[in-house]
Structures are given as C-alpha cells and as structure tokens.
Amino acid sequence: MVNDPGIESILVADCGKVITKVLLLERVEDSYRFVAQSEALTTMHFPWNDVGVGVIQAIEDIELITGRILYQNGRLLTPRDGQEGVDAFVVILSAPEPLHIVLAGLVPEMSLESARRAAAGTYTKIDAVFYREGSLQFPQQTWARTIRDVAPDVVLLVGGIDGGAMNPVLELADAIALGASMLEESQRPVLLYAGNALLRERIAKMLGKIVQVEVVDNVRPTSDKEHLGPAQETLERLYIERRLKSTPGVDTLSSWSRLPLQPAASSLGRVVEYLWHRERNPQRGSLGIDVGAASTSVAAVFDSRLFLSVQSQGIAFGPASWVEANGMESITRWLPEEFEEQEIKSLLLNRQLRPWTVPQELRELWVEQAVVREMLRDALRTALPTWSAGEAELHPGMMPYLDPILICGGGIVHMPRPGQALLTVLDGLQPVGISTVFLDFSRAASALGAVASIKPLAAASAMEAGTLIPLGTIISPVGRAKEGDVILKMRIVYEDGSSLDVEAHYGELEIWPLLPGQQATLEIKPHRRFDIGLGGAGKGGKVHAIGGRVGLVVDARGRPLELPEDPDECRARLNRWIWDVGG
Amino acid sequence: MILPYTIVNPLTTVRIPRRLPRQGEVIVGIGESVEPAQTVAQTTLSGEFRIIDVARELGVSPKKAKSFIKVKIGQRVLARAVLAERGGISRQRCRAPIDGRITGYGRGRLLLEAPEIPLQLSALVPGVIVDTWSNRGVLIETTGAFIQGIWGNGKESYGVLKMAVRNARRALRAKQIDASAQGTILVGGAQLDEEAIEQAIEMRVQGIIVGGIPPELLPKIEAVDFAVVVTEGVGVIPMSKAVFRLLRSMDGREVAISGLQEQRSGGERPFIIVPMPTESGNPIQPESPIVIGSRVRGMRWPYMGISGTVLELPSGRSLLETGARLPGATVKFDDKSVAFVPFFDLERLL
C-alpha cells in the first residue's frame, strides 16, 4: 500500500460496463473532498475499442468544471504542479467480460456448491457444470465436447474430500484434458484444481502438458467444512491477468497510475471494511451492495472479516435470461400494475441492447425496480451461505444484523426518488434489526475504496465529509402478527427536546420525519413477540438514530416478507407501500 | 458526454472487419480489390469426435490397454478400422466408429476426431483490403449507403433489396412474401410474425430487415438460414423514418446485410450496406458533439425508434414522468411531436 503524505489530489477512473466515471479528490483545508466528477460512456468496445477514450473525455469535462489542466499531449499530468495535474491516478474496472468458467465436480449439493460460491468471489460467468448424472450415457464425451465448444477461460475442478474419492475426479480430469486438447493453444482454459488433496500431483501431471494447471487447497476438505479463500484469490488473480490487463487501451491508463488495476468489487469491499471498523461491533455486520449494469456485488464484513460475492448479472445484462430460467412470476409479483409477459420481455431485451438508457415512463420504471429486487435476492442467495456472521446472526435463515448498509450502483442510485431506492432495497434484502442506510448518490464508493489503497486517510476523510448520503434509519422487527396489530411503540426524542410518540402496525411501512443532518434518540418498545435485535423478542431500549432523505422507517411488514397471493390485492399493497415511501 | 450513435448515412466510406472464427489463412493482400462473393480467408472447423474407451472394450486395465493399440497419434483411419486388438482365445477388437484422425490417448482411451469442415470467409461487400490480421481476417474499405442495426441473428446475406411494406408502421406479413421475394432481402416495417418467417423460408428469401421483432420469436429467427437485421429493438416498433426512407430510396439495388452480434470479444453491430464503390463517401464524425439541429433517435418508450431533430438544449435538468430530473434535449420528432428526452435515451444519427 502506498501512503505518501505528499498526495493531496487523486484522480480516480471507474470504468463500468456502460458508464465511466472520473472523480477528483482533493485536500480542502484539513479534510479531503470530491471536488468534481464527470461521466462518459465506456469506450472499451467498437467503434472505439479503447477504454481510455471515455476516461479522457471525462477528464476533459473535469478540466472544464475546475478550470485546471490535467491532461496534455496525450498524457495525464502527474505529479501535480500548481494548478496543473494531480498527485496520483487510480483505475478501477468492472467493464471487462467476466471470466467464463466451467465447474466440474462430484456432488452438486457439496463440492460443486462450494465451487459455485468460490467462483462468485470475483467476476465470473458459469457456462457449464459437469457431474455424473444417472441419465448421461457417455458423460466424458459430453464433457469433452462442452470444453471444446465453450472454450472457457477456466475450468474449476473440485470434488472428493481430502483423502476421499479419486477415480470420479480423474474421469473428469481426463475429459477436460481431451476437450482442451482439441482447442488451439491460445484458447485452452486454465485448470484450477481445488479438490481432493491426494490427487494434486496426478492432476498436475495429467493435464500439465495440455493446459496451465493451478493447484489450490480443497474447497471442501471435509464434508462439513468449506474453504474458499485460496480458490477465490486465484480466480481474482486470473480475472486481473486475463481480463483487466487485456482491456483495450488499459495500458496507457496503467502507465499513468502508481497502483495496479483494481476490480471494482474489491474496492467496494474496502469501503465496507472501513464502515465496519468505524464501530468495530461484533454484534453487527456492515453491508455494501452494488447493482451495476452487468453485475451485482455484495460485500459484507463480520468481525473484521470481509466476504465478497459477485453475480454476473445486473440491471441490464442478465435479467432477460434470468427470467427465462426462473419464470416471469418472480418479476410480475413486484409490479404495482398489470403487465403482459411480452411487454416485460421486450423491455428487458431492449434494456440489454441499450444498457445506458433510463426509463421515461412509470411502467418501465416499475419493471426495472422489480428486476433490481430480484437481482439483490439472487445475489444474496449466493452470498449468504459464505458468511460467518458470528454474533451478528439473529435468526437462522434470515439476514444477520447489518448496520450500516451501503447502497451503490446505477441500478439503484439512478432511481428517481430516494424512497423508491429504499423500498427496493428493503424488499430485496429484507434486513432485520436496526440499520442506517446510506446511498452512494455521487457513485463514489468504489473510488473511495481505490483511494483507500493509496491514501487511507483521504478515503476516510472523504467518507466522513458526506460523500455517502444517509437515506435514514430503518427498524425491521422480526415476528408474526395479525394485519394492523400494534407491534412496536416508540418515542422519538429530537435534538431540540421535542418528542413524538408513535406506533407501528403489522403489515405497514411506517415513516416519521427525521431529516438529513438531524439526529434523535429512540425509545423503542417492541411487542413481546417481536425482536428488533436488542437482546431478543420483546426487548427494547434507547437507540441513537440519524436522519436521512427518507427519514425514520419502521418496516413492520414481517420477516420473511410475504406478498399476498391474490394479484389484485398484491398490486394494491405494492401501490400502498410505494405511496408510503413518497411515490 | 459522448453520446452513442447509429450510422444511417446515404453515402459514406466505412471499414468492415471480416474475421475467421479460428486461426486460418488470409488469401488476399492489402490494396487488393475484392467482390462480395470472393473468398478473403479460410480455415477449418472442428467436426465430430469420439472418445473410444479401449480399456473397457477390451476388458483390460487402462495401463494394459496401451499395449493393444494398433494406431498412432496423428494417424488417419476409416470407419470400422481396427484401433486396438487383444489376441488369444477370445479375440476382441476395438473399431473406429467414424472416419477420422487419432488425436489423443490417455488412461485407456483414444480420441478420434472426424475430418475438419472447411470454412471460406467471403468479402460480403465490394471494396479494397486496407488491413489484414495474420491468420485471422481482413479489413475492407467500402463506400455506399450504410445503416447500423441493433440486433441480428448472427447470419450474413447478399441480395437485392425489396420493399415489402408501404410504410414503416406496417408489419411484415406472409401474404407480402410471394415468389418474387426469392433471393431478395426484404424490408418489413414495425415487426414480423411467425407465418411471415415460415413464408420467407418457403420462398427462399436471402434476408429480412425489420424495425422490431416479437420476443417469443427470437429462437426461431436465430435458427433460420438467412440473415435478419432489426433496426429498432424488441417488440412492435415502427422502423424509424430515417432508416425506412433511406432503404426505400435504395429499393432494387444490391445490398449486403450482416446480423453478426457483439461477441464475447466485444464488437461490431449488425449492419446494412448498399455498395456504391465508384462514389466517394462522406466521413463519419462520431466524436462530434450534439448541437441544435443534430439528427437523433429515441431509444426508450414513448419515443422508441422515432427519429427527429434537436430543437433546444435546455441547461440544467428537466423533470420526467418517473420523477427523475435529468439533462437532455428538446427534440422535434419526424411525426411532428415535440418533447424533452434525456440524453441517456437519445442517440445521434450520423
């Protein structure tokens, strides 16, 4: 890590799949602030084929905003000299294609499930999964053909606990070798072996002449233990080597930077780590979610340990095929109006064809928000089993106690109203307990993570200086009651000494004023069957709350959130909740 | 901000990349003139293959199987040829199930690959070779009317352009595709239906250009032999007037269409080109800023596919129906309506 005290201005380029953002962070008196930011289309693909074109365009916009010269004669001016140039430049990327992966293993519910979670540690797309199914007569031929036809970047071979099954793993390795041998050398995959430790040498010998073999610890060394770290680290390294470094035009950007290229999800992870370390409360986790155009990242920290998960589907790329696989009902149940299936399919496909566009009509907006809910739920299905929440675990099968929650990514941040963003996140995440929710409105979170690797103090200072916008404090009681029953009583004591006594009714989203910059003390008394994370069901207490753009929210809809089965009733309920959060 | 753009230009010079799907041989040189049907590069594609489990067929261990194998790596064999043989009282033979070449051996198994399938890559458009990529393909410069599509079915075609509908709002129906459509590239309007696709297959059309396609027909359209290029998007979307008028003015001329989609490596859009190699075209300036008078097209409903002209560039942000406030332009659309559209939902027509 670089931590040069002389660094006073840092330019960060964040190249997403669709939009490239450039942010300028500078020292202003005793703190660091983002003084300017600009966006351009990402220009990695045809007709530009150079990610630098968009970055330079955005830098030129920053020059216009600040009146400073940053770029001259084809290069970024660094270090800073008076009003010219910057002290440091960092590039973070999520624009490249994910690594295409084939998983091969023995038992879908065991080693292959672990392999899937290992793959989710960075930007990957699983193209095929190999395991012996009862009905597959010639699996080797099918496996070899798949390797030849798909030509994946990586084959992740797992299976067999350490000292366990060997022959079925060798059979898989054999088919992979045959399939890879039919590919041109430049197209052959890397074989990442993370299975039975006893087979390491044999696998390396068997495949080493055909493909590049990487051997790491078993992802499932025993039937009840999962060990994902080494496989995840190798996959991230391969993503950096094979994708980030081969991004068209990235060489020029790299030459301006004193830091290696960074995947955007890792930068988000660093911000969430910082948020956890601010409180260092082992009974709380911190969470960051980033719904982008082509990926959804989930970063969670419990007891100072980071858990990072990336799904290669976002608001634009992925939902159309996701709906094919999971059914349209998963989207339609979140829609406050009636829709034809064709209309939704067309909308999702058109969004994929033009991923940078935004909805102009409310109907289209509802569909996009429904998609975000499902992308979040899907990303959590992969992420949750990898978490060791420890003391933050409140109720099995539900979210752990998370505070704060950080929301990032164009998929959410571009929502027209803060209440819509909050409602979407509440529906998608279904948090429990008491959480402060921040919105990365200026889309600077990943940049802050990158800055943290060059000047941690600057990142911390910028975060404290209001880069992240609070949406409010959310109380989500866990329990069951009849619609309309009072499940929580609360006295809100404002800073000026005034107070407000309120009640929350089961099935409702209740919102009370607590404006940005305001703080309050909450005296909460939940019903004896409801748990708000203060020591068990019925336990309440005094809690400090901060205000935000939405306010103080009690999500009294129950956990897990259940929507009415009758479509008309469901739509009426959704409309009511949308109204509650401000339309 | 760099706005996205689509080229809808009556006379321009463009460079068309032609790439092999795998390494092969480029058979033309820089500076050479090429015709649409002329082969510019060639390669072979992998064919069928079989994994032959010699050990199991001979009833021996994988280690022992090697000693019974009668063929060598690289050897060509015919179907039924003996690949391995175990002598003794119960003589057992392992035969080749198909013609091919032995390409691998491991753990008692042979890999037999069928002969490779030759692939010849044509120029598709008339023009001049301006660059070659070793063993991979060529870049052809050509002049003519050029229109970029938004979706294609991965196929390419060359034929005579035929207007099948009278206006851009009409759908392409089966009854409009008669025997005269054989070998042509048809221009439809707002969409096409399943019967129209069946009829196009029956009448052996060479290609279809259409504004929109129903989402449920995507698999069927991807499977047809001829090229389909969609100019606006998925759904019932009238072809934008700018595109329709230009195509109508080219009715009866020879046209090349490519439905190749952006691939994993990131790439080109589908396109339509009416070659006019003897003319000199106007250069496209993709970096030019949006200004009052710029030609644009809407990319989201309610202005999806409607072309128009920028009337004003209001400063600041304007309110949308969704409640969002975004920067954008006031556009006078070709249907005479005037509306504010955020920049995110506009593309320039060049």
Q: Are B233 and A349 inside 8 Å of each other by CB? A: yes
pLDDT tens per residue across span A264-290: 999 999 999 999 999 899 999 999 999
Shared domain for B12 and B60, answered yes or no, is no
Asked whether the predicted pLDDT for residue A138 surpasses 70, the reply is: no
pLDDT tens per residue across span A22-51: 999 998 888 888 899 998 889 888 777 899
Q: Is residue B169 part of a domain?
A: yes
H or E segment and range at residue A111: helix A111-119
pLDDT tens per residue across span A176-196: 999 999 998 989 999 999 999
Q: Could you tell me if B343 lies within 8 Å of chain A, comparing CB atoms?
A: no
Task: State the pLDDT at residue A152.
Answer: 97
Q: Is residue B284 part of a domain?
A: no
Q: Are B2 and A40 inside 8 Å of each other by CB? A: yes
Which bin fits A426, alpha (ψ -120 to 50), beta or left (φ > 0)?
A: alpha
Shared domain for B184 and B240, answered yes or no, is yes
Per DSSP, the three-state class of B203 is coil
Q: Which two tokens stand for residue A209?
A: 């002449």
| Residues A512, A494: Cα–Cα separation, whole Å | 12
Q: Is residue B73 part of a domain?
A: yes
Cis peptide before B36 (omega within 30 of 0): no
Q: What is the mean pLDDT of chain B?
A: 92
Asked whether the predicted pLDDT for residue B264 surpasses 60, the reply is: no
Are the C-beta atoms of B191 and B237 separated by less than 8 Å?
yes
Amino acid sitting at position A44:
M
| Residues A64, B1: Cα–Cα separation, whole Å | 12
pLDDT tens per residue across span B193-224: 999 999 999 999 999 999 999 999 999 999 99
ipTM value, please give it: 0.91
Q: Is residue B282 part of a domain?
A: no
Which bin fits A459, alpha (ψ -120 to 50), beta or left (φ > 0)?
A: alpha
Q: A-chain residues within 8 Å CB-CB of B113?
A: 182
Q: A-chain residues within 8 Å CB-CB of B151?
A: 353
Shared domain for B13 and B156, answered yes or no, is yes
DSSP string, A260-274: --EEHHHHHHHHHHH
Shared domain for B159 and B254, answered yes or no, is yes
Asked whether the predicted pLDDT for residue A379 surpasses 50, the reply is: yes
- Angle, alpha carbons A267-A270-A271 (nearest 5°): 95
Final residue of a domain: which of B247, B275, B303? B275
- What is the side-by-side strand order in the sheet with B100-106? B49-53, B109-113, B100-106, B76-77
Q: What is the mean pLDDT of residues B166-187?
A: 96
Cβ density class A283-309: b for 16+ within 10 Å, e for less: bbbbbbbbbbbbbbbbbbbbbeebbbb
User: A464 pLDDT band (50/70/90 cuts)?
Assistant: confident
Residue whose pair of structure tokens reads 């999500």 in the numeric block: A555
| Residues B328, B342: Cα–Cα separation, whole Å | 4
Which bin fits A153, alpha (ψ -120 to 50), beta or left (φ > 0)?
A: alpha
Q: B-chain residues within 8 Å CB-CB of A346?
A: 214-215, 233-235
Task: State the pLDDT at residue A1.
Answer: 46
- Range 150-179 of A in CB contact (< 8 A) with B: 170, 174-175, 177-178
pLDDT tens per residue across span B304-329: 999 999 999 999 899 999 999 999 99
Q: Is residue B151 part of a domain?
A: yes
Q: B-chain residues within 8 Å CB-CB of A417?
A: 323
Pairing relationship of beta strands A71-72 and A75-76 according to DSSP bridges: antiparallel
How far is CA A496 from each of CA A489, A500, A551, rounded to the nearest angstrom? 21, 12, 17
**Residue B330 belongs to what domain range?**
295-349
- Range 74-113 of A in CB contact (< 8 A) with B: 97, 100
pLDDT tens per residue across span A157-180: 999 899 998 989 998 999 999 999
The DSSP secondary-structure symbol of A466 reads: I
Asked whether the predicted pLDDT for residue B2 surpasses 70, the reply is: no
Pairing relationship of beta strands B328-333 and B137-148 according to DSSP bridges: unpaired
Shared domain for B199 and B336, answered yes or no, is no
Q: Which two tokens stand for residue B281?
A: 């075209």
Q: What is the mean pLDDT of residues B49-64?
A: 89
Shared domain for B36 and B153, answered yes or no, is yes
H helix count then E strand count, chain B: 5, 28
Are the C-beta atoms of B316 and B306 separated by less than 8 Å?
no
Query: Which parts of A298-361 fold into alpha helices (H)?
Result: 319-326, 329-332, 341-353
Task: State the pLDDT at residue B232.
Answer: 97
Looking at CA atoms only, how far is residue B179 from chain A in angstroms?
Answer: 32
CATH of the domain at B306: 2.30.30
Task: State the pLDDT at residue B89.
Answer: 72
How far is CA A477 from each of CA A1, A534, B190, rounded to the nearest angstrom? 42, 10, 51
Shared domain for B210 and B237, answered yes or no, is yes
How far is CA A286 from each of CA A229, A450, A462, rounded to the nearest angstrom? 20, 19, 19
Task: State the pLDDT at residue A43.
Answer: 87
User: A136 pLDDT band (50/70/90 cuts)?
Assistant: low
In chain A, pLDDT over 70 holds for what percent of residues? 98
Q: Are A350 and B103 inside 8 Å of each other by CB? A: no
Shared domain for B65 and B169, answered yes or no, is no
- What is the side-by-side strand order in the sheet with B328-333? B5-6, B346-349, B295-298, B307-312, B328-333, B338-342
Task: State the pLDDT at residue B205.
Answer: 97
Per DSSP, the three-state class of A492 is strand
Q: Are B1 and A39 inside 8 Å of each other by CB? A: yes
Q: What is the mean pLDDT of residues B148-152?
A: 94
CATH of the domain at B83: 2.40.50
Per DSSP, the three-state class of A230 is helix
Q: What is the mean pLDDT of residues B93-110?
A: 89
How far is CA B301 from each of CA A361, B203, B236, B341, B346, rounded to the nearest angstrom? 7, 35, 11, 10, 11
Exposed/middle/buried for B78, CB within 10 Å: 0-12, 13-18, 19+?
exposed
Task: State the pLDDT at residue A134.
Answer: 65
Q: A-chain residues within 8 Å CB-CB of B57?
A: none
* pTM for the predicted model, two decimal places: 0.92
Within a 10 A sphere around the Cβ of A16, how many other Cβ atoms? 26
Q: Which of A358, A360, A414 sits opposite B302 (nearest CB)?
A: A360
Per DSSP, the three-state class of A497 is coil
Between B249 and B264, the more confident residue is: B249
Return the biggest CA–CA distance within chain B: 94
Cβ density class B84-117: b for 16+ within 10 Å, e for less: bebeeeeeeebebebbbbbbbbbbbbbbbbbeee
Q: Could you tell me if B134 lies within 8 Å of chain A, comparing CB atoms?
A: no
| Residues A210, A213: Cα–Cα separation, whole Å | 9
Asked whether the predicted pLDDT for residue B265 surpasses 50, the reply is: no
Per DSSP, the three-state class of B332 is strand
Q: Are B264 and A100 inside 8 Å of each other by CB? A: yes
CATH of the domain at B239: 3.50.30.10
The DSSP secondary-structure symbol of A423 reads: H
Q: Is residue B289 part of a domain?
A: no
Asked whether the predicted pLDDT for residue B1 surpasses 80, the reply is: no
Q: A-chain residues within 8 Å CB-CB of B211?
A: none
pLDDT tens per residue across span B61-90: 888 898 999 999 899 999 999 999 988 777
- Range 52-111 of B in CB contact (< 8 A) with A: 53, 103-104, 106-107, 109, 111
Closest CA to A160 of A189, A101, A200: A200
| Residues A451, A438: Cα–Cα separation, whole Å | 19
Final residue of a domain: which of B113, B130, B155? B113
pLDDT tens per residue across span A1-19: 445 657 889 999 999 988 8
Within a 10 A sphere around the Cβ of A496, how many other Cβ atoms? 8
Shared domain for B16 and B160, answered yes or no, is yes
**CB neighbour list of residue A321: distance below 8 Å, 6 or more residues apart:** none
Pairing relationship of beta strands A519-526 and A551-555 according to DSSP bridges: unpaired
Return the biggest CA–CA distance within chain A: 76
Residue whose pair of structure tokens reads 């194998």 in the numeric block: B69
Q: Are A353 and B107 inside 8 Å of each other by CB? A: no
Shared domain for B94 and B141, answered yes or no, is no
- What is the side-by-side strand order in the sheet with A9-15? A31-41, A19-28, A9-15, A88-93, A262-263
Q: Is residue B287 part of a domain?
A: no
Asked whether the predicted pLDDT for residue B268 surpasses 80, the reply is: no
Q: Which of A53, A174, A350 sits opposite B106 (nearest CB)?
A: A174
Q: Is residue B29 part of a domain?
A: yes
Between A361 and A466, the more confident residue is: A361
Cα radius of gyration rounded to whole Å, chain B: 27
User: A148 pLDDT band (50/70/90 cuts)?
Assistant: very high
Shared domain for B79 and B64, answered yes or no, is yes
Terminal C-alpha separation, chain A: 45
Exposed/middle/buried for A341, CB within 10 Å: 0-12, 13-18, 19+?
middle
Shared domain for B239 and B332, answered yes or no, is no
Looking at CA atoms only, how far is residue A341 from chain B in angstroms?
Answer: 10
Looking at the structure of chain B, the number of domains it has is 3
Task: State the pLDDT at residue A135.
Answer: 57
In chain B, pLDDT over 90 holds for what percent of residues? 77
Final residue of a domain: which of B212, B242, B275? B275
How far is CA B116 from each of CA A182, B78, B347, rounded to the nearest angstrom? 11, 14, 44
Terminal C-alpha separation, chain B: 16
From the centroid of its chain, how far is CA B231?
13
User: B266 pLDDT band (50/70/90 cuts)?
Assistant: very low
Q: What is the mean pLDDT of chain A?
A: 93
- Range 354-413 of A in CB contact (< 8 A) with B: 354, 356-362, 364-365
Looking at CA atoms only, how far is residue A484 from chain B in angstroms?
Answer: 31
